[in-house]
Structures are given as structure tokens and as C-alpha cells.
Structure 1
Amino acid sequence: MRNISAWSIRNPVPPIVLFIALTIAGFVSFARMDVNNDPDIDFPIAIVVISQPGAAPTELETQVTQRVESAVRALQGIDQIESTVQEGSSQTVIQLDIGTPIDRAVQDVREAVNQIRGDLPDGILEPQVFRANTTDNDIASFTAITTDMTVEELSWYVDNAVAKELLSVPGLTAVDRIGGVNREIRIVLDPTKVQSYGLTASQVNQQLRQVNLNAAGGRAEISGTEQSVRVLGNAANAYQLGQTQIAIGGGRTVRLADIADVRDAYAEVRNSAEWNGKQVLAFDIKRGKGASDVSVFAEAQEKLKELQTRNPKVQFEVLFNNTEYAKDQYESALWALIEGAALAVVVVFLFLRDWRATLISALAIPLSAIPTFFFMELLGFNLNQMTLLALSLVAGVLVDDAIVEIENIVRHMRMGKTAYQASIDAADEIGVAVVATTMSIVAVFLPVGMMPGIAGQFFKNFGLTVVAAVLMSLAVARLLTPMIAAYFLKAKGHATHGEGWLMDQYMKVLHWTLRHRWSAVVGYLASLGLTLFMFMTLPQTFQPNQDQDAVTASIEMVPGTTLEQTKVVVDRVRDLLAKQEGVENTYSRAFVGNGHAGRTGFGRAFSFR
């Protein structure tokens, strides 16, 4: 590393080509990187959900939950098991040891549950085993507005046309409709007629299940070719279903429509959404892991605009957008990086008082920061609050090595040397010191990037980004800065160096400190003690409080609460939020049954400024 600067000065083409390539790669990587609020994190958590509609919590605890816990307790890497049982649903959360391969652990849990499948009650639905998903949050909510459709038609339009169109967006994984109704073919039996034919409701249900289905029928040879045969039994509509013949014994049958009212209707309403107190049909969108919040939202808006063009009867409006905070944070971080770089350049000029030397030092910032994006992409990072914080933090550090190099070169030039010779001598003179300075920063932040645990997954983005940036600044300082100085600076002969009013004041303080050495030691001990005291007294939290111009209130009701009862409480909370100063809009959602959070009665109210 000591002689590499001299080689770069004598052979300027390879370093120039190298950094041009790295800069282009950095621009390309920056354009392709996703913008998110937080990095994608893999929590070492597996979740088992087993549902049995209508089952009491006590029954589920003894017949399902305890057996699931016993089955998974013997697996390796289990740190903690926590179960939640409510009416009709059992959820077991399995927290794994830090460092346990999550994919393998989820597969082991799934196999353990499958082994006890025969011991579980017959009425349960298929057990669901999955990993905790940190990206499974709503990134935006929209509402569909129309004056030419019924609620049923608009609900089916959102479920079919809108959902299908939005799911074609790369990275968009789910479209959840809130409000509206679900289509349902209802068969309402007439008890008198059913009893008069000697039938029961279970017999009618069993016959419909046997007849109303599509099934494979094997293969047949037709005209010398083999064709697959299917048995089509599903009714095309409610009328056709009503014409189904129900056997009543003795070789006799009766039409379903003669003993029941068959209608194409909608299911019981299980959720509702309101915007500023007015009921709306809303739908939320979610992104998948590895996708960009901002890009997914932007492409979803484009898809909705295309739908509006094809069907002007239905208009879409944004109710709330969680990507605005990520976008604002991204823009503010970039501006902070630019402002920090500009201030660093100003400080360099004030001390060197040479515009050529200042320009060479300033080049170190973009030539170090831009190629860093290339290495960030290689590491699988995206543009989130941790990586942007790292780049903002090192904006001034990136120019440090270049300042040391250029200042020493200027000092040698003022000794009467040419710019070419001064660059060679000065760079070789402090090469080891520059490398040692950079490696000390790497020694601090590299362990931060290697931290274990969930916090380590956040700081991996931060620490390794800082390491990549400062290593790039070292390469710039050792390869480019001396080479550019050798050909760009102008020697002006012998001159004084390191003088001026500011330097004189510094030298006075330095001389006083050397005469009173214990003052520095006492000052160091006092600052160390104060640092430890503040460290112990400051509150600790996983993430700092963030002001995203929104307030969310979650309401949990007791088991058995109906949608109407939940909605009354949600409306009261919404009204309280709406009365607060600065609130512009409110968006509330009410659920019943399991809801989004798997609770018996659940609601949310949002307010926005």
C-alpha cells in the first residue's frame, strides 16, 4: 500500500479506468435498488395456526394446543413456545434460537405437526405452518367509488378484476378487501316441506355434496386418440342448482327448489371500513419480501389508472399511504448526504485556501459514495433507513483520507518541489498512517455489521455499508488523489505552511496542554465518567419513536362480540381521534371473528394530519 500511490502516479490510466467502471456500476446499482423504510429481516419464529369453527377455547387447549406444543418441544433450536387460544382458533408461536436456519426449522415444525395429525379432532381445518413475515403489513389502502353498481357488484369487481390486475404487479403479494360483501349461494330449507318428504337437513346437504362437484373421470379412446374424461357436476348458477333432484326414497325424487329457497346472494358481513365516518369499500395492498414499498405502490397506482380508463364507472382514491414516510426519509437522507459533503468541502477550502486542492479533496466524496452502491447491491442491501444513515454518517469521513493526502502534498510543494515529485514523496510518507486510520474505522464498524440476533440483522446493513464506503475512500486516497494532484496542482515555489490566526490559537492551546498534562487526563476521565453515566440513564428501546403523521388505535373486544358491537366501540374511538387538533382525516376498520389479528373482536381506527 505504501508504493501503490507512486505506481498510480506513473501509470494513471488503470486507476482512471477502474474508477470510471466502479462509478458506472454504482449508478446502475443505485437505479436498481429498492427503497424501503426498514431492511428485510428474518425473524427466527415459526407459527402454527389450527382452526376448528365453533370449538370452545377449553376444548382447543386440551385437544389441539397441548398436543402441538408437545410435538414441537423436542425439536432442536427451540427457545420459547407461546400459544394463544380463542374461540375456533389455536395459534402457537415458536421462537427459535438466534442463528437457527429458519427454513429448515419451519419444515421440522411442519413435519412434527403432520405426525400428530391423526390425533387431532376430525373437525379441524388443515393446519397452517409458516414463518413470521416482517413485510406482511399494509403499505396502502384504496377505496372504490361508483354510482352505477350495487354493493354486491362492486365487491365482486374488486375481488375479480381489481385483485387480478394488482397481483400482476411484481412484489405485490396480497389484496385484502375491507367492507362490501362476499358472494354466496344460499339454500334456505323449508322445514315443513322437508319434513313432509321424510328428509332431514343433513341428508339434503350430503346429497348436494355428492352431486355438485367436478371430478376426474379417467381416460377414454375417441377416434383413435386418447382423451381425458371429466365429470362436470357443478351448477352454473343458482337456478340450475335449484333444479337438482333430491332422492326421497322409493325411487322418487324432488327438486331442490321445491323444498328450499335457492338464491344467489351474499354472505354475512364480517367487516366494515369507514373514511371520515362514511362507509366505504376499501382494499389494502401488501408487498412481498425483497420488493420496494415505493415501487410497488407506484405500479399499483398505474394499474388502477388503467382500470379506470377501461371502466370509467369505478374510480379509485388513496385512503392512506404508508410509503410516503419511506420516500420522505429516502429524500431527506440523500439531501443530508449532499449537504454534509458540501459542508466538508467548505471546511477543506477554509483550511487549505487553494481551490485546486479543495476540488481534488471534494472528488473523494462522490468517487467513494457512488461505487459503494455497487457493493451494497452485491451484499443484498436496499435503500432503507439503516443504509442511508450509514451513508449520511460517513459523508465527512469519506474525505478524511483525501484531506490528509492533499495537505501533505501541498506541504511538500511549499518546500519547493514540483507537484509531480511532491505527490510521490508525500503519498509514500504517510501511506501507512492513512491505511491505519481507515482500518481503525473498519475495526469499529465491521463487528457492528457482524452482530448476532435480530438487532444484528438491522445493524448488518449499517455496519457493512460504512465499511464498504470507508474502504472505497481509502482506495481513492491511495490511487486517485495523489495521481490527480500530480497532474492538476500548480507548484508556486517556497512558501510558509501551517500558519494563520486559527493555527496560532490551536498551538497556544496545545502548548498549554503539554505544560499541564494532568488537565488532559482529568478531562478524559471526566468525559468517560459522564459518558458512562448518560449511557446508564438514557432510556433503551428497539427503535426510536417516529412521527409518521398518523395515529393508530387498536381495539380488542371480548370473545363473542358481534360486528355491530365492535363497530360501536371503533366509532367512539374514531370520533375521539377526529376531535384532536391537527387531525384531517380518519380511517376506521372493524372486524369480527378472527379478524386480521386472529382475535374475537378487533377494530382499528387511524387518524392523519
Structure 2
Amino acid sequence: EGAALAVLVVWWFLRDWRATLVAAAALPLSVIPAFLGQYLFGYTLNMVTLLSLALVVGVLVDDAIVEIENISRHLRMGKTPMQAALEAADEIGMAVIATTFSLVAVFLPTAFMSGIPGKFFKQFGWTAVLAILASLLVARLLTPMMAAYLMKPLPHGEERDGPLMRRYMRTMQWCLRHRGLTMVAAALFFVASISLVPLLPTGFVPAADRSQTQINVELPPGATLVETRAVAERVRQVAMGTPNVKSVFSSIGGGSSGDAFAPGAAAEARRAVLTVTTVQRGDRKEKLAAVESALRARLADVPGARFTVGPPDSGVKMQLVLRSEDPDALMLAARRAERELRTLHGVGNVKSSASLVRPEIIVRPDFARAADLGVTAASIGETVRVATSGDY
């Protein structure tokens, strides 16, 4: 679709089907060598390489358009197609080469990015560069040759400017008459553009708004399944009362990882996971992040449990490390820091590694009696676990 649209735009401005055909031929003739380069580099056709090719579709016909437009200008001078192709190609050769290598200078650095982004953009950058270099060869070699054989001599005369070109020339003449004002306006526009850079959000992958999030509930160790169910029900009611929330599904007895369906996760009666489905993105004004922030604010009033809102491992991770020789003072400081961090704007889930208050049951087996009955220590431990945590 992008290639077809590019060809349509070329025809709209050239208004010559022969010239459009010559320029449009640059697209497949540039992409196919790029596929060969991908094969030699060991790349595959994936989302990254296809995105790169889609991005440079318009660039691939730029050189061919410049060549074919200059050839058309020479044809209007009364020259033969062969003579026009030779002289026009020689006239703008260095300009076309300089333009192409300026584009290479833009895309090639992305292939040398470091870190995890570099793993993705390496194929992106090289694929774009291969296609652009192929388009240069097509524009310098094949486009003049095809024009010499396909294009016909044009009537000698000066071409009249269309309405778009006339408006452009009037604007250009005004700028040339008011050079000082034009330079000041350009400088102000440049400064205003640079000043907007700090306001733009940054990130590796933008957050996906799938109209669904989850709430992980964690009660203190020793909490029963009944207590977890009661807290989960209260959380469900709070979530249903939040604007833009459509439905809530509760799963009681989640895994230790916070996901009730995580493979290999040990189930605990003190954990629950609530899957929250929001109104579809097109039917609400707020983003999913705003809905999650509203859920966090409302859950702050629910006592006796810890809550995290959002998918696991989402957002940017930051750690605040506290150390002390006094365990009680360290616990108080950790709780205070946790409360203060929750009040900061832009901070999402705050989770402390400090243990929740754990009720302790001391079991002292009668080992002599157990030995007489043939009961092992492992059997005693398993019996205590089932009696206190349940059998999952």
C-alpha cells in the first residue's frame, strides 16, 4: 500500500505515465538488492527489517524523481531522449550522490547503537542503508537508460507553473524581500522546537493500552483463605467503583510470583490476583496509566494488605536501599519511605522487601515418641504445613 501510494504521488506531480513508470521502477529494483544484502548479512524478514523498508519507501524514489524531472526538462528543450538522458544525468550526478550519502549518514549510526536497543536497530539500520545505496545505483544507471528508451520527445517550449508552484514562488519572493524577519522567525521556531524536547516522554517500548490490567494483593504471612477472599472482595468493589472500569475477575490463592497462573509458582492462600478490564480505548478519554493511578489512589484506603497495580515487570525499576544495625529502626524507616514514595507524582507501584508481620507458631515435636511410632521429621513438617497453609 505504501509503495502504491508513493507511485500515485509521483504521478500526481509528474503527470506523465512514462516518467511515472520509470520512477516507480526504482522501488522494486532497490528493494530486491536489499533482500540480497539481508541474506548475506544473515538477517530475516521480521518486523524490524520490514519496518525499515516501509520507512524508506519514499526515499527510494527520491533520486529517481530528481533524475527523471531533470530529463523531462531537457526534453522540453527539444533534445532527443538519449541526449536528454545523458546530459541530465551528468548535470545532477554529484547532487544525487551527496543527497544519498546524507541519508546513509542518518540511518547508519542506528546500526551501531549499544545495549538492548542496539540488538533491534542493528538490522533496522543496515536494511535501510542497503536499500538506499541500491536506489542510488538504480537512479544513476537504470533510470537514465530506461528514460532514454521509454520517454518521448516533448514539444519545445517553456513549461507553465501550476497553482501550487505559483503560490510557492510568491511565498519565496516574500521571504527574499524580508530576509531579516524570515531569519528571526526561523531562529524562534528552532529554539521553540528544541525547548519541547525535555517535555517529550522517553522509553524503549511505549506502554501498550490493551484495556486490561491487574491488581496483585498480598496479605501478611499466615493469613487464611477466608481473609484473603474478604480483602479481594473489598478490592473488587473498590475497582468496580473506579471510572472506566468495566469488569473485574478475582483469582484467590495466587502464586508467589504474583501471578496466579505462573507455571511452577507455589500457591499461597494469602495472595490474590484481580484482572481488571477497562472500557475500550476509543470509548474513554483517559489512558490506561491514568486508570491504574486512580486504582492505586483508591486502594490506599484498604488496610491490611499490599497492592501492586499493573502487569508484572512493567515500567522503569528504581531501587532505594536502606541499611541499619537496628532492625526495628530499619523497619520503621522502610515503611515511612514507602508511604512517602507513594505520594510522589509519576511513581507507580511501590513495594518494600521488608517482611510483613509474620505470626509465628512454635512446634516442638516429641522426637522420642515419634521414633517409637516410626514418624520421620519430614512427615511432621508436611503435617504442620498442611495444617497451617493448606494442601495446594
User: Structure 2-normalised TM-score?
Assistant: 0.58
Check 1:459–1:498 CA distance in 2 against 1; reply closer, same or farther (3 A cut): farther
After superposition, the C-alpha distances for 1:350-372 in whole angstroms (9 at most, x for unaligned) are 32121111122223234334553
Residue of structure 2 in register with 1:358 after alignment: 20
Aligned partners of 1:444 and 1:415: how far apart in 2? 37
Residue of structure 2 in register with 1:420 after alignment: 82
Residue of structure 2 in register with 1:257 after alignment: none
Give the one of 423, 427, 441 matched to 2:103.
441
Cα shift at 1:401: 1.1
Q: Contact 1:578/1:586 (CA < 8 Å) preserved in 2? A: no
Q: Contact 2:23/2:61 (CA < 8 Å) preserved in 1? A: yes
Cα shift at 1:483: 2.2
Check 1:356–1:531 CA distance in 2 against 1; reply closer, same or farther (3 A cut): same
Check 1:431–1:567 CA distance in 2 against 1; reply closer, same or farther (3 A cut): farther
After superposition, the C-alpha distances for 1:175-224 in whole angstroms (9 at most, x for unaligned) are xxxxxxxxxxxxxxxxxxxxxxxxxxxxxxxxxxxxxxxxxxxxxxxxxx
Aligned partners of 2:38 and 2:231: how far apart in 1? 47
Aligned partners of 1:565 and 1:461: how far apart in 2? 53
Which has more helix, going by share of residues? 2
Q: Contact 2:53/2:128 (CA < 8 Å) preserved in 1? A: yes
Give the one of 166, 181, 192 matched to 1:530.
192
Check 1:587–1:345 CA distance in 2 against 1; reply closer, same or farther (3 A cut): farther
Q: Contact 1:365/1:398 (CA < 8 Å) preserved in 2? A: yes
Cα shift at 1:431: 1.8
Give the one of 150, 171, 180 matched to 1:488.
150
Cα shift at 1:440: 0.5
Check 1:577–1:379 CA distance in 2 against 1; reply closer, same or farther (3 A cut): farther
Aligned to 2:214, the other structure's residue is in SS state: strand
After superposition, the C-alpha distances for 1:503-548 in whole angstroms (9 at most, x for unaligned) are 2222222233223322332232112101111002223333323223
Cα shift at 1:381: 4.8
Residue of structure 2 in register with 1:410 after alignment: 72
Residue of structure 1 in register with 2:382 after alignment: none
Q: Contact 2:3/2:57 (CA < 8 Å) preserved in 1? A: yes
RMSD value over aligned CA atoms?
A: 3.4
After superposition, the C-alpha distances for 1:333-361 in whole angstroms (9 at most, x for unaligned) are xxxxx2x4344333322321211111222
Aligned partners of 1:522 and 1:479: how far apart in 2? 43
Cα shift at 1:410: 0.9
Aligned partners of 1:415 and 1:587: how far apart in 2? 78
- The code of the aligned residue for 1:362 comes to A
- Whether 2:254 is the aligned partner of 1:591: answer yes
Check 1:366–1:578 CA distance in 2 against 1; reply closer, same or farther (3 A cut): farther
Give the one of 466, 471, 474 matched to 2:133.
471
Cα shift at 1:404: 0.6
Q: Contact 1:405/1:426 (CA < 8 Å) preserved in 2? A: yes
- The code of the aligned residue for 1:496 comes to E
Cα shift at 1:414: 1.2
Aligned partners of 2:156 and 2:17: how far apart in 1? 19
Q: Contact 2:213/2:276 (CA < 8 Å) preserved in 1? A: yes
Aligned to 1:591, the other structure's residue is in SS state: coil
Cα shift at 1:424: 2.1
- Whether 2:284 is the aligned partner of 1:606: answer no
Q: Contact 2:75/2:154 (CA < 8 Å) preserved in 1? A: yes
- The code of the aligned residue for 2:275 comes to F
After superposition, the C-alpha distances for 1:461-504 in whole angstroms (9 at most, x for unaligned) are 43333323322322322233222222211222423246333222
Give the one of 181, 188, 203 matched to 1:541.
203
- The code of the aligned residue for 1:359 comes to L
Cα shift at 1:576: 6.2
Aligned partners of 1:589 and 1:392: how far apart in 2? 47
- The code of the aligned residue for 1:403 comes to I
The alignment-based identity, stated in percent, is: 47
Check 1:441–1:549 CA distance in 2 against 1; reply closer, same or farther (3 A cut): same
Check 1:451–1:408 CA distance in 2 against 1; reply closer, same or farther (3 A cut): same
Q: Contact 1:570/1:590 (CA < 8 Å) preserved in 2? A: no
Aligned partners of 1:557 and 1:413: how far apart in 2? 82
Which has more strand, going by share of residues? 1
Aligned partners of 1:528 and 1:567: how far apart in 2? 58
Aligned partners of 1:499 and 1:532: how far apart in 2? 36
Q: Which runs of 5+ in 2 are unaligned?
A: 281-392
Residue of structure 1 in register with 2:172 after alignment: 510
Describe how 1:374-413 pairs up with structure 2 within 5 A: 374-376=36-38, 378-384=41-47, 386-413=48-75
- Whether 2:15 is the aligned partner of 1:346: answer no
Cα shift at 1:425: 1.9
Aligned partners of 2:210 and 2:36: how far apart in 1? 30
Aligned partners of 1:588 and 1:372: how far apart in 2? 50
Aligned partners of 2:161 and 2:183: how far apart in 1? 28
Cα shift at 1:602: 5.0
Describe how 1:555-570 pairs up with structure 2 within 5 A: 555-561=217-223, 569=231
- The code of the aligned residue for 1:484 comes to M
Check 1:603–1:442 CA distance in 2 against 1; reply closer, same or farther (3 A cut): farther
Aligned partners of 1:480 and 1:585: how far apart in 2? 62
- The code of the aligned residue for 2:57 comes to A
Aligned partners of 1:568 and 1:367: how far apart in 2? 67
Q: Contact 1:555/1:603 (CA < 8 Å) preserved in 2? A: yes
Aligned partners of 1:381 and 1:572: how far apart in 2? 50
Aligned partners of 1:497 and 1:437: how far apart in 2? 26
Check 1:344–1:423 CA distance in 2 against 1; reply closer, same or farther (3 A cut): same
Aligned to 1:350, the other structure's residue is in SS state: helix
- The code of the aligned residue for 1:398 comes to L
Aligned partners of 2:250 and 2:31: how far apart in 1? 41
Aligned partners of 1:374 and 1:559: how far apart in 2? 60
Give the one of 91, 98, 107 matched to 1:429.
91
- The code of the aligned residue for 1:383 comes to N
Q: Contact 2:232/2:250 (CA < 8 Å) preserved in 1? A: no
Aligned partners of 2:244 and 2:119: how far apart in 1? 38
